[in-house]
Amino acid sequence: MRAGGDGYAVAARAGAIRFRYRLTFDDTVPVSTGAALSPSHLYAVTGALFAAPEAANPAGEAPLRLRLHVGVPPGWEVVTGWGVGDRTFTPPNRRALLGSTLAAAPDFRLYRDTAAGTRFVLAIRGERRFADTALARVIAASLREARALLGPVPVPRVTYVADVGATGSTSASLQGRATVGLLWGSGDSLGLPRIHDVFHETLHLWFGGVLQTARWWTEGVTDYYAARLQSEWSGRAGDLATLIFRSLDDYLRIPRRTRMTMDQEARANVLGDNTTLLVYRKGMLAALLLDAAIRRSTGGSASLDDVAREALALARSRADGRVAESELRALAIAAGGPAVGALWTRVVAGDTLLSREEVAAALRAVTRRRAVADPAGGASRGRRRRTRQTMRRTS
């Protein structure tokens, strides 16, 4: 075996190669939402802990068979995207290995169910302020709502691992191609922000799983649909407005917003949680604005939903699932015409500051409501007066 570049080259002609990794609880794992190791549990997006052998093969499809055995202390349950309990896993391909979550602990509580034609497993540990079954219900709803919007769940089984975050006050979610990790503080209630997180991670089975594309779409469009689907499921139209205006407020607080496009930010690999990144916060607003523009220009006969479904169909027709941003733009213009192209140039590709009025108008267009509730305090007093007048006129 020779070390070279950022990997190793193996000169073996045939036969099995056995790699052995050993982690001890004395090893320090960098503070990350992607991996943690402690005497009581382990979780990881496996790419963070394992190196899958990448057989060099010009044809692209090396007939690599991989078997992964996870050795953990006695009594520990191992949970991966491929199964629960059995410690030896044979992922169907390398892609599956790199996109999967691995977790192990002695105290998982396991729930198995079927939703939207797909089996799912919830492995949960730690104490929370809500019942395990309440989270299982939200997961089932997220799968059903996403299927209604985007078509069949892309994988036959989804594994959700719910652990209590290390600090007890932060929340984080992880996503693989068939696995979702939900790391929340023990004091969290299963309210709007956390339910929105579950919908967001479930939607990554499509955006990020099936479809590989620009980061603002993978995170921002996902966040928008998570808000819309959550709102439709809960029957509370105000939930969408709450999440949109929260995103807008966070976006307006990002100091670099006027100097950077979403693409520049993605390339610069700016660090931060999703409240400080344009690709999440402005990306969500961009999705709303595009959705509203397509609905307006077509009299409501088309929407961003059509663009999303066409992008997914395009991704499925390709081995790597990759769809270029220019192709997404072409699909959006095909759906909504030149006005959508101009909006794309300004909002998606540009760095012009978005306004509260523009966002509120888009919300009205998408929800077909004359007025939306802007939770911002003093700034919206004038708007509230106008809202009341509007409501009087329509009642």
What minimum distance in Å lies between the beta carbon of 219 and Zn ion?
Answer: 5
Do the Cβ atoms of 228 and 241 come closer than 8 Å?
no
Residues of this chain that bind Zn ion (CB under 5 A): 219
Q: Pick the closer one to Zn ion by CB: 37 or 44.
A: 44
Nearer to Zn ion, 205 or 365 (CB): 205
Q: What would the DSSP string read from start to end of 155-200?
A: SSEEEEEEEE-SSSS--EEEE-SSEEEEEE-TT--SSHHHHHHHHH
Report the distance separating Cα 112 and Cα 350, nearest Å. Answer: 45
**Residue among 219 and 250 whose Cβ is closer to Zn ion:** 219
49 within 8 A of 82, measured Cβ to Cβ: no
Q: Which is nearer to Zn ion, 221 or 340 (CB)?
A: 221
Dihedral angle computed from the Cα positions of residues 299, 301, 304 and 307, in that order, rounded to the nearest 10 degrees: -130
3-class state of residue 348 by DSSP: helix
Distance CA 336, CA 295 (A): 7
Contacts of 86 (CB under 8 A, 6+ apart): 78
Residue closer to Zn ion by CB (options 104, 254) is 254
Q: Which residue, 89 or 217, has its beta carbon nearer to Zn ion?
A: 217
Instruction: Return the ∠ at Cα 373 (arms to 345 and 359), rounded to 5°.
Output: 5
Q: Which is nearer to Zn ion, 113 or 325 (CB)?
A: 325
Q: How far is the CB of 100 from Zn ion (least distance, A)?
A: 16
CB of 277 to Zn ion, least distance (A): 10
Q: How far is the CB of 274 from Zn ion (least distance, A)?
A: 7
Minimum distance, C-beta of residue 207 to Zn ion, in the bound complex (Å): 8
Is residue 364 within 8 A of residue 295, CB to CB? The reply is no
Q: How far is the CB of 125 from Zn ion (least distance, A)?
A: 22
Phi and psi, residue 54, nearest 5°: -100, 95
C-beta of 173 vs 333, nearer to Zn ion: 173
**Cβ proximity to Zn ion, 108 vs 280, nearer residue:** 280
What is the token pair recorded at 77? 């349950």
Question: In the bound complex, what is the minimum distance in angstroms from residue 135's beta carbon to Zn ion?
Answer: 18
Nearest of 111, 34, 43 to residue 78 by alpha carbon? 43
Tokens of 4: 């070279």
Residue 87 CB burial class (10 angstroms; 0-12, 13-18, ≥19): middle
CB atoms within 10 A of CB 190: 17
Q: Which amino acid, one-letter code, is at 164?
A: V
Token reading at 258: 């006027």
Task: Name the minimum Å distance from CB 175 to Zn ion.
Answer: 6
CA within 13 Å, CB half, 280 = 18
**Minimum gap (Å) between residue 214 Cβ and Zn ion:** 13
Position closest to Zn ion via CB: 219
